[in-house]
Each structure stands twice: as structure tokens, then as C-alpha cells.
Amino acid sequence: MKKILMTMVAAVIAVSASAQVYLGGSIGVGVSKVKNGEEKTTFKLLPEIGYGINGNWAVGTVIGWGKGNPVSLEDASVNSDETYFKLSPYVRYTFVHSKFVNVFVDGGVDYQHYKGGVNNLEVGLTPGVAVNLNRHFSFVTKVGFLGWKNTKNSDSGLDTQAWGASFDNNHLTFGLYYNF
């Protein structure tokens, strides 16, 4: 057991020393309104960890929590006060590099499970921009989504699917990363 633990510690130190790991996360807040309906406010807290494979490619995951639902889930009967768990593994490709700004696109899977029995699955692309504040800190924003979405409600049996692009405030996050 000690050998396994020491091997894991050595691996974490080696990966961190090679300056390829980033740790951070995002917060998101959105306000939406259904026509002739009430306004809904959503928020999310999304810690994130990633590993840079090389200068262009990285892999990572987001594991987080949120509350509320965007308009796009309104038909699935999600209560606007419901909390959810989120898991989002991704592959990142950075296609514009400069000293201060990197532009990237994340391709991944986004799974959300709402407390009220609704499951939401998205597969697609999310564009983003990283502003390098210094060697260790980056301000990151992601906006939009292009892909497929499926929402299932276990209580009502409702199952909706959609293809398309969304560049609204429900797909907008700001974050701060620490690059080891």
C-alpha cells in the first residue's frame, strides 16, 4: 500500500513539475425569461482540472454543482429551484497562440443530473478564450455550444432531443486557472 501511495505522489509531483497541469474553475450566472412568464436565474460552480498533452492539445474534466434551469429545459418540467450535479470530460484544442491570448475549442460530453429526476446530456463543441495574466494565472471564458442535446425526465417520461448552436447566457462561464 505504501508503494502505491508513494508512486501516486511521485507521479503528481512529476506531472506538476513539467508545467502541464492546470487547476481552476468557472462560475456562471444566467437570467432567462419565458414569453409571458417569470424570470429564471441560474448559477453554477464548476471546479476544473486539466492536463496539457502538448502545446495544442489538452484533456480535462469539470465536476460541479448548480442550481436552477435554463429556458431550454423548461419543457422537461425542471423546477427552477432544483440543484444538479455536473460532470464534463473534454478534449481541448488550442488553435491560436500568442503571448497574452489563446483561443481554443473544447470537444466533450456534458452530463447533468437534476435532483428532481431530470438527466441532461450534451455532446458538442464549446469555444473559449484564455487571457494569460502571467506565467501561472489565466483568465478563461467559454461561451456557446454547438452540438446535440438530450433531456429526459424520469417522472413524466418526457424525452427531448435537439441539434444546433446556442450562444446565449446559459452557456457563458468565466474562470481563473492556475497553471503549474
Please, what sign has the CA dihedral across residues 101, 93, 90, 21? negative
User: Given 2.40.160.20, 3.10.350.10, 3.40.50.300, 3.40.50.920, which CATH number is that of 21-179?
Assistant: 2.40.160.20
Q: Mean pLDDT, to the nearest integer, of 48-67?
A: 94
The pTM of this model reads 0.76
12-36 pLDDT, tens digit per residue, is: 555 555 558 999 998 877 777 777 7
* Residue 170, C-alpha cell as written in the block: 446559459
pLDDT bracket for residue 168 (50, 70, 90): confident
Q: How far apart are the first and last CA of the chain?
A: 28
Q: pLDDT tens-digit profile of 61-87? A: 999 998 876 544 444 445 556 889 999
Residue 169 has pLDDT above 70, yes or no: no
Q: Are 28 and 6 in contact (CB under 8 A)?
A: no
pLDDT for position 71: 46
Residues 6+ away with beta carbon under 8 Å from 58: 22, 50, 51, 52, 91, 92, 94
Instruction: Check residues 18 and 109 and name the one with the higher pLDDT.
Output: 109
